[in-house]
Amino acid sequence: MTVFPRILAASVLILLAGALTDCGSANRQPEADDNTVVVYNCNTEDWTAPIAKEFQEQTGIRVQLVAGGSGELAARVRTEKEAPLGDVIWGGAADSYVALEPYLEPYESPEKTAIDPRFVRENNTFYNVTIDPYVIAYNTDLVSEADAPRGWRDLLDPKFRGRIALADPAKSSSAYALLFTMADVLGDTSVIGRLADHLEGKIFGGSAAQIKALADGEYAVTATFEAAVMRYIANGAHMRIVYPEEGTETSSSAIGIIRNAKHTENAKKFLNFVMSRQVHERFGDYERRSTRADIPVPTNLRPLSEIHTTPFDTQRAVSFRDEFLSKWRAAIIK
């Protein structure tokens, strides 16, 4: 099994850029032959590119990673439904996969029995890969520990007005899931409009950009999923995580096979590899929690038993999405 220590991350990614067929944007048209699997990758490549490279080396199947935001790539799957150019979609919050189910091919993976039952999708249309509690994070160069937020309501404090980095929930499934969590935990949908106003029109196109802005000291506070912040902290960023005192929800990211894909058998092999124990036991190296019941919580992460969490209600998140985004847009255009 190959391990990629953090200290070698930069050099590894340089090598991977040439080793994989494509890590381009979603605007590029995939070029694939029969010995290929085309993966619409909504994740960051720092941890997914090594996994894709290892699969490629072990199977001889070329992996073409097509990068993009979860909303962007989900829309592409819908648009291409008659003649898909992708075989797999990987990454993005589970609620976006519930909405995408008509465009996904059910498949019963042999790895299913190893998954924690709380994260199993019984109809096999997609598989939850990682677990992520939603958190608040702040830049320690800009915010003292005394002034740091303790919970969701603190984001509405006047001292953070115009200083919160947040992605547009209409474009980012993780941003939507985060704001849904905030409103759900507080039991108050009015926070949608109040927080939108608090941003003063400064909204990012994706969650990766919002976290980078916090790490670079351009913003004081953000709210996002745990793994993204932990990755920056592990690499020396002056950031600190806050698990909201009111509680938070635990979401998951997923992977699924696109219906009518050109390379379905290769897609099944890729999904099985991503869900395998050999891959999941390395998730701690990437600051991530596994959905497999046979993989312990990484020692560098706080056990969920020590965090006030509840499961993310994917069905309700899907049904509430249109109403939520309507409230959001109304608040943004004021």
Q: Which of 1-10, 32-41, 154-163, 228-237 has the lowest mean pLDDT?
A: 1-10
Contact between 35 and 63 (Cβ < 8 Å): no
Contact between 88 and 258 (Cβ < 8 Å): yes
CA dist., res. 220 & res. 98, Å (int): 33
| Cβ-proximal residues to 215 (8 Å cutoff; 6+ apart), any chain | 139, 232, 237, 238, 239
CA dist., res. 274 & res. 272, Å (int): 6
Please give the structure tokens belonging to residue 62. Answer: 């070329």
- For residue 191, what are the CA distances in angstroms to 35, 149, 156, 253? 49, 16, 8, 25
Q: What is the pTM of this model?
A: 0.77
Digit-coded pLDDT (tens) for 80-111: 999 999 999 999 888 889 989 999 999 999 99
Is pLDDT at 139 greater than 90 in this prediction?
yes
Is pLDDT at 73 greater than 90 in this prediction?
yes
Please give the structure tokens belonging to residue 273. Answer: 């590899």
Task: Label residue 12 by pLDDT band (50, 70, 90).
Answer: very low
Contact between 180 and 192 (Cβ < 8 Å): no
Digit-coded pLDDT (tens) for 170-227: 888 788 888 999 999 999 999 989 999 999 989 998 888 999 999 999 999 999 989 8
Digit-coded pLDDT (tens) for 243-257: 999 999 988 899 999
In the block, tokens 């898909």 appear at: 84
Residue type, 210: Q
Contact between 244 and 224 (Cβ < 8 Å): no
Contact between 146 and 159 (Cβ < 8 Å): no
In the block, tokens 């109809």 appear at: 123
- Report pLDDT for 34: 85
Mean pLDDT score, 15-36: 52
Contact between 104 and 97 (Cβ < 8 Å): yes
- Report pLDDT for 306: 92
- Report pLDDT for 110: 98
- Report pLDDT for 218: 97
Per the model's pLDDT, the better-predicted residue between 310 and 64 turns out to be: 64
Please give the structure tokens belonging to residue 266. Answer: 């290769």
Mean pLDDT of the chain: 88
Is pLDDT at 31 greater than 80 in this prediction?
no
Report percent pLDDT > 90 for the chain: 66
Based on C-alpha coordinates, what's the Rg of the chain? Answer: 19
Q: How many CB atoms lie under 10 A from the CB of residue 62?
A: 18
Q: Measured at the alpha carbon of residue 236, what is the angle toward residues 231 and 237, in degrees to the nearest 5?
A: 75
